[in-house]
Amino acid sequence: MVQDEQELKNFVHAYLDDEERHILLVAGSGFDPRTTNFPKLLASCSKATIDARFIVERRPTPDPDLVSKSESLRADLVGFFPEAKFDDIEIFSSEGEPTVVAGRRTAALLGKLDRSSKTDIIIDISALSTGVFFPLVRGLLQSSRPNQNVHLVLSQHSDLDAMIVRKTHQAASIAHGFRATSDFGNSARKVKLWIPQLMRNQSTSLERLFTMYEYDDVCPAVPLRALAPRQPEELVFEFNDLFRDWTGTSSVEFDFRNLLFVSEDDPLDTYRTISDLHQLRLRTFEHLNGASTILSPTGTKVVTVGMLMAAIEYNLEVVYLESVGYQLSEKFHTQALAPWALKHVWLAGEAYS
C-alpha cells in the first residue's frame, strides 16, 4: 500500500496518533534538509508513544559545511523528540584498504532496537543511504511479529537528489543481506540480468558497477516524471556513450528496447516491472541453468524503494557504490527548491492480515 503526502498526513493523525499505538521511529540524522520532514509530522502526535532512534552516518573527512548543517538539523530533531537516541554508524572501515562496513554495522544496531512492545515500526529513509537502509528494512521486516506494522516513509525530491553530489567509492559493494546464493565453481552459470537505475551525472558510477560481474543482459531503469517529460531522453543521451562502451567491451549487446521505463512517483511501478521481468526470465531459463537478476539502485529514492521491495521478495542481489562523501552543488545555494513530497509504503502488518 502506497500513500502520498496528504494521505500520509491523514493516516498519521487518524491512525497513528492513538493511545494504543507504540511507535518506533528509525530515521537518519544528516545534512539532508529532508531529515526533519517526517519526524516533524510525527512529533505532532500527542497520544501515541514514540521512541525515536536516529542513525548518524559517519564518513571519513566530511565537508565542514555539511557537518554544521547536520548539527543544526540534529538540534531540530532533539526539539521534536527530547528523549531521542542517536547511533553513529561507520560507513567505512579505516583498517587497510577502505572497506564498506555500513551494512554490517547497521545489522549490529538492529539487535539494540527494542521492538517487542511496538505496534508500529516506521523507517524514514529520507536521510539514509542505500548501504544503511537496505539491511535496516530487511532486518526489521524479517524480525517483525505478525500484525506488527512496518512502514517506510521518504521525502521525495528529484531535484534535490540531483543537487547532492556524491563522491563514490572506487569499488562496487553488495548491499549487506542482499547477496545471491553462491554458484561459485559451477560450470553451469545462471544467466545474469543487471538492472541499474539511471540518474544524471552517474555515468562514472554505472561504469564501475558494470565491471562487477559478467552480465548477459542489461536493462537500465529509466525514471519517468510527469513534471519532466524530457528526462528519459536526456538520460538516454547522457548514457549513450556508456551503452556503446558496454557493447564494445563485453558480450552484452545493448539495445534501446532494453530500457525499462518506471514511474518516479510510484515505487510499486518499479517493483512490478522488476517482478514481472524476473519471473518471466525464471520461466524462460528454467531448463537451462536458471536466471538471476542483479539490481543497482543509484538514483531517486522512490525507484530505489521499488527495487528494495523486489529484492526482498525475490532475494535478488543488490550491488551499489557507497558514497565516500557528499557535497552540495552550486544550484542548491542559488535555486529555490519546490516543496518535497512525502510518501508512505506500508510494508507489513495489519493492512495485509
Partner 1 sequence: MAFNPFQKRATEHLREDTAYLGVVSPKPIRHFLLQGKDHGILYDRLVTILGTPGSGKTTMARLFEFRIVFELLSHANQRSYRPLIQLLADSGAIEDLAPKILGARLALESDYRDIWELPYSSVEKSGLLFSFVQSRSVLTWLRMLEDADISLSDVKIVAQDPGSAAAQSIGGVEAASVQSKARDVESCVYEIVASLAPPPFGSLSELVTQAYKPFDVIEAVEIPWRSAGSLDRIQLQPLVMFDDAHCLHPKQFESLKNWMSKRELRIARWFMSRLDVLKPQESLDSRFLGTNSAGVELPGVTEDRDEAIIRFQGHGESRLDQRKKFRYAARDITKRALNQIAMFSEKGMVDLPIMLEEAVREVGITASAYSDLKRKTETLRRKKVIADRRLEEFRGLAKEFLEKKGTNALDIEEAMIQIMAHRYANRTPQQELWDDDDPEPSKPIRADNDVYEGARTHLHLAYGRPLYYGFDTLCDAASQNTELFLRLADVFVESLEFKLARKKDPGLTPEDQDKKLRIRSKEIIKNWAYPDHDLVRKLCEGIGHRCMKRSAEENAPLGPGANAYGILQEEYDQLQSDDSRGLARALHFGIAYNAFAGLPNYECKKKKWFLLELGGCSIISHGLTFLRGGFVEGSLSELEGFISTK
Residues that bind partner 1 (CB under 8 A): 60-61, 93-101, 104, 107-108, 110-111, 135, 138-139, 142, 167-171, 173-174, 176-177, 179, 181-182, 184-187, 204, 208, 211, 214, 244-245, 247-251
Nearer to partner 1, 184 or 256 (CB): 184
Nearer to partner 1, 3 or 99 (CB): 99
Q: How far is the CB of 297 from partner 1 (least distance, A)?
A: 18
Q: How far is the CB of 73 from partner 1 (least distance, A)?
A: 24
With beta carbons less than 8 A apart as the criterion, state whether 115 and 129 touch: no
As a whole number of angstroms, the distance between CA 349 and CA 353 comes to 7
As a whole number of angstroms, the distance between CA 108 and CA 203 comes to 33
Q: Write the DSSP string, 271-311.
A: HHHHHHHHHHHHHHTTTTT-EEEEEE--S-HHHHHHHHHHH
Q: How far is the CB of 77 from partner 1 (least distance, A)?
A: 27
With beta carbons less than 8 A apart as the criterion, state whether 322 and 205 touch: no
Q: How far is the CB of 335 from partner 1 (least distance, A)?
A: 23
Closest to 124 in 3D by CA, of 75, 18, 176, 52: 52
Q: How far is the CB of 147 from partner 1 (least distance, A)?
A: 22
* Amino acid at site 317: E
Nearer to partner 1, 248 or 339 (CB): 248
Nearer to partner 1, 8 or 212 (CB): 212
Nearer to partner 1, 24 or 172 (CB): 172
Nearer to partner 1, 34 or 190 (CB): 190
With beta carbons less than 8 A apart as the criterion, state whether 26 and 113 touch: yes
Q: Who's near 176: CB < 8 A, 6+ residues apart?
A: 102, 103, 104, 106, 107, 131, 134, 135
As a whole number of angstroms, the distance between CA 134 and CA 176 comes to 8
Q: How far is the CB of 3 from partner 1 (least distance, A)?
A: 28
**C-alpha angle 345-346-348 in degrees, rounded to nearest 5:** 140
Nearer to partner 1, 72 or 211 (CB): 211
DSSP 8-class letter at 15: I
Q: How far is the CB of 248 from partner 1 (least distance, A)?
A: 5
Q: How far is the CB of 182 from partner 1 (least distance, A)?
A: 4
As a whole number of angstroms, the distance between CA 42 and CA 39 comes to 5
Nearer to partner 1, 241 or 286 (CB): 241
SS3 177: coil
